[in-house]
Structure 1
């Protein structure tokens, strides 16, 4: 009889313990990881990144007559050399309009080109930052401009040191020599010509 009562007490205690565990708050699920960026891409070529969204700045409406004055020629640059077959992709490109200003109250642009499974993106002006690529980094000088070359597998990016705004050239699938040649050929260009490149065809 004592053994039976002991078993009943042990069973009741076990049931109470299980109930307490069941009513306890479940551990909070881990926060979802942020969406991958170009910087997190593997060394192997990945599907075309949406580079336009990665570097699009917060647009500031122009509020003074000075905002409509011609931009400094050095802000808008375009290469005189492009690898064969590279064509502008308007859906991945963006150029500030007449009444738009980016960071530092200057215009901005990001033109993406695609061809034969390769990608090239040229951006500058009032962009918040260059495209977020990490990897092996070394100092370079190209076209008389100092900057840094970041390499990660098939991806490469040159970020130049400029007095105002940002200037970078990103590539996927291009050799280092090709990228340096493109970057070294950057020349001033009228912003209206850049808008034509970014306009839907």
Structure 2
């Protein structure tokens, strides 16, 4: 297998990228100046040295001052009584950028396809249980499950809600999901502010 083939296979691992698009990316790099390829390689290499994962919400953020927590998690002005559980970092960027939610976050790390094997390995459910336990001592009262309006999102919400039920009951924490508002098939990273606010206000 040539380097072109292995590079194509690497691009195919990107979300939403098929064989033809992956091949286009590979040829694009071949036709690009060497300076661009070197710059891209340095940027990829710099991800590990400049970006880290928050020890509390698990989103990625720029390393600063050796802290293990992201700026959002250490912000004392945020509301400790609510925890918004999202599938991925892109959902966080979209929702946080709206400024419509003032509580805490948790990034689950993905969603669960229907009939998926070993769901605990696909998402951060153990870490979420730990986060809820620690949050209970800081006044956590509500966990809001905010996933895509599709079959995987609904399946994920059902699994997470069922798994959290015992600890939520123990600490008298309410588990809610976003209300109607998102169009069927819509992912949160593409939702607009008005739609999300409506779904958040009508959570159930």
Normalised TM-score (structure 1):
0.24
In terms of fraction of residues, the more strand-rich structure is 1
Ranked by relative contact order (alpha carbons within 8 Å, sequence separation 6 or more), the top structure is: 1
In terms of fraction of residues, the more helix-rich structure is 2
Structure with max Cα Rg: 1
